Copies of this chain bind each other. A is one copy, B any other.
Amino acid sequence: MNNASFKYPDQAAYELVTAQLAAKNITYKDIAVITKELQKQYLPDVPLSEFEAETQDVLHKREVMNNVMVALELDRLATAHELKEPLESIICNDAGVFGVDEGLALNIANIYGTIGVTNYGYVDKVKEGIIKRLDEEKGDEVNTFIDDIIGAIAAAVAAKMAHKYA
């Protein structure tokens, strides 16, 4: 039951998010690069530093942090074989009809309105830059959630920029 006296740990949440991304060799700067690429035809003159600042802003939002933490814990737990079957196999095989990875990502994108959602849908299909690398990475690590999460954060930043310069 909801514990009304519990104070949301904003700083610790941000630190876990940063650590989870670092464990996949990703920083907020990498995400900013994806967004700059996404927006290059609309905002060619906006410096990368501005995309970086907006990415950090998105990464501090609670609803974003909560979905990121859950998603990346699920990748970690699947890698460690700590999930029950058949969920373990569904996640390890990144089954096309799973949809929970896209669902958590959409919960992030939704907060930034329909521009966030359509940008995420596009990124999810074309798998730009670092997302493509993650999605294709060989090895023992499960990367089912991380690519959707990166795509959703990049889409959220793109939506913020689109509104800012509308």
Q: CB-nearest residue of chain B relative to A112?
A: B111
Q: Which B residues lie within 8 Å of A67 (CB)?
A: 99-100, 103
Inside 8 A of A100's CB, which chain B residues have their CB? Answer: 66-67, 70, 104, 107
Say whether chain A's binding surface is mostly helix, strand, loop, or mixed: helix
Most B CB within 10 A of own CB, among A104, A107, A111, A112: A107
| Number of chain A residues whose Cβ lies closer than 8 Å to a Cβ of chain B | 65
**A66 to B166, Cβ gap below 8 A?**
no
For window 56-86 of A, CB contacts with B under 8 Å fall at 62-63, 66-67, 69-70, 73-74, 76-77, 82-86
Task: Provide the residues of chain B in CB contact with A51, threshold 8 Å.
Answer: none
Give residues in A with beta carbon < 8 Å to B.
Answer: 1-4, 6-9, 12-13, 16, 42, 62-63, 66-67, 69-70, 73-74, 76-77, 82-87, 89-90, 93-100, 102-104, 106-107, 110-115, 117-122, 124-126, 135-137, 143, 162-163, 166
